[in-house]
Amino acid sequence: MSARDTVRELNSHFYERYSQIDDSDEFWEFMLKPLRQSIRINTLKAELEYVRKRLEERFELKPVPWAKEGFFINADNLARIPEHSLGVIFGQEASSMIPPIVLDPKPGELVLDMAAAPGSKTGQIAQYMENEGCLIANDMKKGRVNVLIANLNKMGVLSARVTIKDGRYFGRFENTFDRILLDAPCSSVGMIRKSFKFLKEWQLKTALRYSNIQKRLILAAYKALKAGGVLVYSTCTIDPIENEEVIDYLLRKTDARIERINLPLRSSEPVLEFEGKKYSEEVRKCLRLHPQNNDSEAFFITKIVKP
């Protein structure tokens, strides 16, 4: 059975919707292909080259082209690697390393990670900030916050303050943060390569619900951003209503500017029109990653600047 037939059999509504966006055989094949294992070397704990050389004595490493700390690794079980137990390396999907790179936080800044759990991107942000400044790591679910705190402790993150709030709460802190990451809750289509449950359980009403949440969160994030500040919006899904439509909504409601992202990777064309809705030409500057582009999770990343 072909990959597209498998998808059609597991969830016909999913197949019908996303074949409108990408109906290449490659897209469906990579959608079902297991993900490559990747890690980020945590320079808060040790020097990158030292760790890399130690790991290369035992494993085959292949650099992630867009992240100098990122490597694909041929390890079966990260939990058995001492460096992982010590927080010197951290299991992190290669595409998920992109939003903190685009955010480009600097030591001494005030940064908000609005939906931070489980904390892989938060740790990466702290790494770039060299543990200097203040990083607010927020998540609205207490259970997820416990995992977030455990991971930040493991990674040696000292500059973070963890909060348990609905992300919209931060809208009251107008013009406050130098940089904000909104890695928004989403329908997780990109994570099908980790688990077919995301395919089997996918429903359009879930994507619609998340789209409404994302629009409220991005407005609050933009409000909390300083003039001249950078907001990165990202999701691990491919649905235009959770991606281009959310950015189009922000552009219509505010004076936000979108900046093009230049990284050494392949991408798919952003969606300018879907199911009768036309989006701003500015969404062409967004980064849309389908699984076959770089043999990674599907992802969507936008760099937003406040004039």
Give a three-class secondary structure readout of the chain. Answer: CCHHHHHHHHCHHHHHHHCCCCCCHHHHHHHHCCCCCEEEECCCCCCHHHHHHHHHCCCCEEEECCEEEEEEECCCCHHHCHHHHCCCEEECCCHHHHHHHHHCCCCCCEEEECCCCCCHHHHHHHHHHCCCCEEEEECCCHHHHHHHHHHHHHCCCCCEEEECCCHHHHHHCCCCEEEEEEECCCCCHHHHHCCCHHHHCCCHHHHHHHHHHHHHHHHHHHHHEEEEEEEEEEECCCCHHHCHHHHHHHHHHCCCEEECCCCCCCCECCCCEECCEECCHHHHHCEEECHHHHCCCCEEEEEEECC
Question: Which residue has tokens 């037939």?
Answer: 5
Separation CA 227–CA 217 (nearest Å): 18
End-to-end CA distance of the chain: 52
- Helices 25-32 and 3-10 pack at an angle, to 10 degrees, of 70
The candidate with the shortest Cα–Cα distance to 29, out of 49, 1, 55, 66, is: 1
As annotated, the active-site residues are 236
221 close to 180: Cβ distance less than 8 angstroms = yes
